[in-house]
Structure 1
Amino acid sequence: MENKSGNRVKELRNIRLMLAGIIVSKTGTMAFTFALAIYILRTTGSAMGLAISIILYSLPKLIISPYAGVLADRIDRKLLVVGGDLISGLVVLLLLFQSTVSITSLYAVIVVLSLVQTFFEIAFQAAQPDIVSDDGLFKLNSYAQSAMSAADIIGPALGGIMLNFGIETIILVNGLSFIMSGLSESFIDFTFNRKKVAKTEKPVKGSMRSEYKEAFQFIRSKKIIVYIIGLSLGINMLIGLGIRVPLPYLMNEILKMNSVTIGLIEAILSIGILVSSLILGKRGPGPLYKSTYLYACVIGLSVLFMGLPFAFGLTYPELTAAIILAVTHFTVGFALPSFTVPIITFEQQIIPENMRGRVFGLIGMLASIGMPLMVVISAFVMPIFSATSMLVFVGAGIVVLTSFIMSRKQIRLTFKEVDASSETSTEEITS
């Protein structure tokens, strides 16, 4: 009994330290990203400068993700997590040693941050099941999502305020936030729930190609993982196709909304995520099969109804249009954690500890390819199809994709087995 109590205290400390690290570094990063976009636009006077910064952040992640995945399985993940934040902080603070912050130096820092944070993110996701109990993993993922959503809301507002005091203020705050996050994470016990790995399961340190071949073979042998990755990446890519370009175009060019209204509508998405994540953390996981199916369809239908009311040339007062988009944004935001958190938790639990880095590295690489590709495709397709028809198409596509994958026998049986196991555990605890 005393041992259980001690473990519970350690677990709660791990959760608090990790959440503190997330909210501090993420808030600083969001403030920095928001201010950086404005600073580059003001300094260069061109959208091309902003586009270059986005490419410089996205491309290194695509290239380095496989290497980061292998490294996350080879060395201590705590070293990658803590070191990633500390190095990021020092790199950002180096900008303050210039008399004037140049665009070239900002681009260089963006590239370095992209590389370092790729190692951090993959190691962080792979390490989460080791720092809490099996039962606490869902709660950790839920509250981590809450912390990131809160940072998404607070960060841009702070960035806008602090930019009035100069870009140097933002740089100082972001650099210190990374360092504070790294110090917080250094006190986390990364071996709290690490399972003992049999000698035959320990990774053989061969070439990167041979190690990724092993990861591919594992994924191919587990159809359930193929389906889950396909569903997650498919929805992610469809959202990139429909929301990244068509939705801003709809609000700016068709509905002629002012920037304040657009900003409030976009903030409501993060508020929906925050509210849903907090509820999930308190309530715990629901039935995996029903939740995944239901909330993925809710995401699709919400995206569809972002475009459908405006698809036939119908006009509305600005307030009515804003309410329609605000409600659908909140619904998407509310449904996202209810779909993603159970899926992420399931992936973390089903993938062996000695292979998580490579699998998550592979997923990260595919996501890095898919999202920019969808944005480019949507930009080319926009002159042919209207923004509203693209939103309707994407929303319907999410529902069809979800229905197709969730109807597979393998996924139905596995998810329902997980649900039955959860019900049995709950009955044992309450009896």
Structure 2
Amino acid sequence: MVIQSRKKSILTQFHEPFQALKNWVFATLYFAESISLLGDAFTWVGLALLSYQFGREKSAIILATALTLRVTAFIIFSPFAGVLADRVSRKTILYTTHFIRMAIVACLPLVNHEWQIYALVFLLNVFNAFFTPTYRAVIPQVVDKAHYRQAVGLSTATFQILGVLGPGLAGILAVWFGARQIFFIDAGSFVIAAVLILMLPAAKLQHAVKKNEKTFTAWHDAIKGIKLLFKNPLIRFALFIELVSAIAGAQILVNTVGHIKSGLHLDDRHYGWVMAAFGIGASIAAFVAGSLDKTKTRRLSLIVGALVLAITISITNFVGYPMMLVLWLFAGLGQSLAEMPSETLIGENIPENEQGKVYGSHFAFSHLWWAVAYPIAGYTGSHFAGRNFLYGGMIAFFFLAMALFMVSVNSIKRR
């Protein structure tokens, strides 16, 4: 009986996120987002292959520059995207950004200079910066509170799963169609997603917005979003934990390939498996996180996730490949536990008519953390081969300690 009840409990935890799909508006949005995310995987695989066509020695520089431009676009434009999400038709933002990104991606097969890649990647992510905060602001509007965390968990899990499966599918299609031609498949995915969004009633996506406010000051509202983001102690702590996650996550994204090839003397296949383990771990945690920690603060999830991440990368330099697979599985679990609560905390603690600007500010700051973390990972990887993950883990522990210290100081002040 005990075993059966445990089985039911586990099945319930994995089944809960799908309850949100009974809401047809969210289901339509979810499938539109999933299709465009799959297309994004094609874009980054295509960019990796395209960069090799400019010279193998240049590929790392091209990809690193493209990633930097990506987060730069998010940092600059996301706060203003959040402001628009509170004042302009969200449906218009969602489908327009899809059509524009379709046109940009369709230009990538035609590039023959590096600067063209950089320009197109930056433009692509400018409009991605307008889409993502708007999409996140819509979820709490269309999903009831009982299923909100599950809806966020399902979206996050799907993002992680497609991050694992998408590149593999893109690689197969690249063999069939060619490296440049898979960009057209991505462009097609944007069209399909936009058509799905066009089917939705605009009023369902924006019922809490004051339609009579015709004018606004973009800077004022963007700053207000930042203030609201940092004013709430629960969201502020979650945001600082995301910095820990970015420090550790950047080490994984930047230095895993070098460690596999140079440190362990293995090949691309082993790199693919270890990154798949990371994605699987992140997907599992995304499905069950909302059921495991139902507290108002989500502090247990945040601290455990950050600790798991910091510990796993700290010992990676000293283990073999089989153990690394296990560690990267746990690192994926940790990253989802550390990053997911921010989005749900905003939806649960910020007034509906202010959520767009706060989601925009959060999107900007969460990517600012990655803009800080990528150079750190690059430095440890290039200067401390064989100890890069250890030093990255030590830095992650330092920022985690700072976040916990600030929480304890705030608790003392409130007393």
- Normalised by the length of structure 1, the TM-score is 0.79
Moved more, 361-370 or 125-134: 361-370
The aligned residue for residue 8 of structure 2 is none
Task: Normalising by structure 2, report the TM-score.
Answer: 0.82
* Counterpart pick for 1:209 among 211, 214, 219: 219
Distance in 2 (CA, whole Å) between partners of 1:287 and 1:331 is: 22
Q: CA deviation at 1:58?
A: 3.1
**Per-residue Cα deviation, 1:70-112 (whole angstroms, up to 9, x for no partner):** 222221112111211122113323556x5x7665544433222
Deviations 1:103-128 (A, max 9, x none): 55444332221111110011111221
Paired with 2:28 and 2:142, the residues of 1 have a C-alpha distance of 11
Q: Is the 8 A contact 2:71 2:370 kept in 1?
A: no
1:340 maps to what in 2? 339
Is 1:31 aligned with 2:42?
yes
Read off the aligned partner of 2:343 and give its amino acid letter: I
Write the deviation string for residues 368-420 of structure 1: whole angstroms up to 9, x where unpaired.
Answer: 33312222133335526831431441453365345435546659x9xxxxxxx
Give the alignment of 1:45-64 within 5 angstroms: 45=56, 46-47=58-59, 48-64=61-77
Aligned to 1:252: 261
Indicate how the Cα distance of structure 1 residues 203 and 369 shifts in structure 2: closer, same or farther if over 3 A, else same.
farther
CA distance in structure 2 between the partners assigned to 1:95 and 1:392 by the alignment: 37
Does the 8 Å CA contact 1:280/1:338 hold for their aligned counterparts?
Answer: yes
Of 218-227 and 35-44, deviating more is: 218-227
Aligned mates of 1:140, 1:63 — CA distance in 2? 28
Structure 1 residues 288 and 248: CA distance shift in structure 2, 3 A: farther
Q: Is the 8 A contact 2:248 2:309 kept in 1?
A: no
**Cα distance in structure 1, aligned partners of 2:91 and 2:285:** 29
What corresponds to 1:425 in structure 2? Answer: none
Q: Secondary structure at the match of 1:167?
A: coil
1:293 Cα shift? 2.3
Percentage of pairs with the same residue: 17
CA distance in 1 between partners of 2:179 and 2:92 (Å): 30
**1:366 Cα offset (Å):** 2.4
Distance, in Å, in 2 between the alignment partners of 1:297 and 1:117 is: 30
Counterpart secondary structure, 1:205: coil
Q: Indicate the residue corresponding to 1:21 in structure 2.
A: 32
**Is 1:225 aligned with 2:226?**
no
Among 125, 129, 132, the alignment partner of 1:114 is 125
In structure 2, the partner of 1:79 is: 92
**Which one has a bigger Cα radius of gyration?**
1
Q: Secondary structure at the match of 1:136?
A: helix
Distance in 1 separating the partners of 2:267 and 2:397: 29
Partner residue in 1 for 2:189: 177
Gaps of 5+ in 2: 1-18
Q: Matched residues in 1 for 2:120 and 2:209: separation?
A: 38
Distance 1:334 1:370, change over 3 A: closer
Q: CA RMSD in A?
A: 3.3
Deviation by residue 1:16-50 (Cα, 9 ceiling, x = unmatched): 21221122111111022112112212233313333
The more displaced of 333-342 and 63-72 is 333-342
> What is the letter of the counterpart of residue 337 of structure 1?
S
Give me the whole-angstrom Cα distance separating, in 2, the residues matched to 1:104 and 1:278. Answer: 40
Query: Retained in 1: the 8 A contact 2:160–2:282?
Result: yes
Contact 1:27 1:151 in 2 (8 A): yes
Consecutive unaligned residues of structure 1, counting only runs of 5 or more, are 1-7, 414-431
Match of 2:10 in 1: none
Tell me, in whole angstroms, the C-alpha distance in 1 between the residues paired with 2:181 and 2:213: 45
Counterparts in 2 of 1:71-150, with a 5 A limit? 71-94=84-107, 103-150=114-161
Contact conserved, 1:293 with 1:403, CA < 8 A, in 2?
Answer: no
User: Equivalent residues in 2 for 1:177-196 (5 A)?
Assistant: 177-189=189-201, 191-192=203-204, 196=208
Seen in structure 2, the aligned counterparts of structure 1 residues 126 and 408 have a Cα distance that, compared at 3 Å, is farther
Which residue of structure 2 lines up, in the alignment, with residue 275 of structure 1?
A: 284
Q: Which residue of structure 2 aligns with residue 428 of structure 1?
A: none
| 1:243 matched to 2:252 | yes
Of the structure 1 ranges 243-252 and 176-185, higher mean CA displacement relative to structure 2 is found in 243-252
Counterparts in 2 of 1:308 and 1:338: CA distance versus 1, 3 Å: closer
Q: Is the aligned partner of 1:308 residue 2:291?
A: no
User: Is the 2:293–2:301 Cα contact (8 Å) retained in structure 1?
Assistant: no
Q: How many residues align?
A: 391
Q: Which residue identity does 2:294 align to in structure 1? A: G
Q: Using the alignment, how far apart are the partners of 1:335 and 1:117 within structure 2?
A: 26
CA drift of 1:132 comes to 1.1
Larger mean Cα displacement after TM superposition, 52-61 or 109-118:
52-61
**Aligned: 1:369 with 2:368:** yes
Distance 1:222 1:396, change over 3 A: closer
Cα deviation for residue 157 of structure 1 reads 0.7
* 1:296 matched residue in structure 2: 303
